[in-house]
Amino acid sequence: MEGNLYWITGLSGAGKTTIGKLLYEKIKENKPNIFFLDGDIARWAYNDKSGYAKEERKDAAYRNSRVCKIIVDQNIDVICCTVGMFDCVREWNRKNFSKYHEIFIDVPMEILIKRDKKGLYSGIKEGKAQDVVGVDLKLELPKNPDLKINNDGTFSPEHALELILKKFPEISIGG
């Protein structure tokens, strides 16, 4: 038996972690055996000293997928919130997880620049952006996500959770 993988992807500042934590709490109500993995937390946990260049990011994305696979194979649901900018990684996920649910949080760049919680986009105006996905590193947008949420700030993270629950009704019943 295999758990579900909820792969929540989007650019930095899109709201992945906020929405993912809400989803985690909702699933935990009916299924306490669940694991939450966030890209920033994963880098810390892996003692990752690699940078943010394209190949280093690809290695980190595959590492996240493989860790998710180890956990999912133990019948534990996983919510993984990651930039996950590579088609090849998402394709690997689709081939290796029978219960793979890809959720793309899409936000226009001008809104991400305004949010800029981590200060990643502030260098754009000054021409100092380096290794920022969607700015100077090409983003491979998900081509066929199971759910695309346009998080332009017109609705709350709780509304995004409602969209996820509507798309995946088995979550509410602990499936």
pLDDT tens sequence across 151-162: 988 989 999 999
Indicate the pLDDT class of residue 23, thresholds 50, 70 and 90.
very high
Q: Is the pLDDT of residue 11 over 70?
A: yes
CB 80 within 8 A of CB 64: yes
Two structure tokens written together for 88? 């090849």
Which pTM does this prediction carry?
Answer: 0.88
What pLDDT, in 10s, does the model give residues 38-84? 977 776 666 666 667 778 888 889 999 999 999 999 999 999 999 87
Percent of the chain with pLDDT over 70: 80
100-106 β-sheet, strand order: 34-38, 77-82, 5-9, 100-106, 147-150
Start-to-end CA span in the chain (Å): 12
pLDDT of residue 49: 66
pLDDT of residue 41: 74
- How far is Cα 136 from Cα 130, in angstroms, rounded to an integer? 6
Half-sphere exposure at residue 50, Cβ-oriented, CA atoms within 13 angstroms: 17
- How far is Cα 29 from Cα 45, in angstroms, rounded to an integer? 26
Residue indicated by tokens 């260049």: 53
Binning the chain into helix, strand and coil, the percentages to the nearest 5 are: 45, 15, 40
Residue indicated by tokens 């180890």: 70
Q: What region, left, alpha or beta, does residue 47 occupy, with left being phi > 0 and alpha being psi -120 to 50 degrees?
A: left
Alpha-carbon separation of residue 28 from 42, 83, 174 (angstroms) = 20, 24, 8
Q: What residue type is 31 in one-letter code?
A: K
Residue indicated by tokens 């934590």: 21
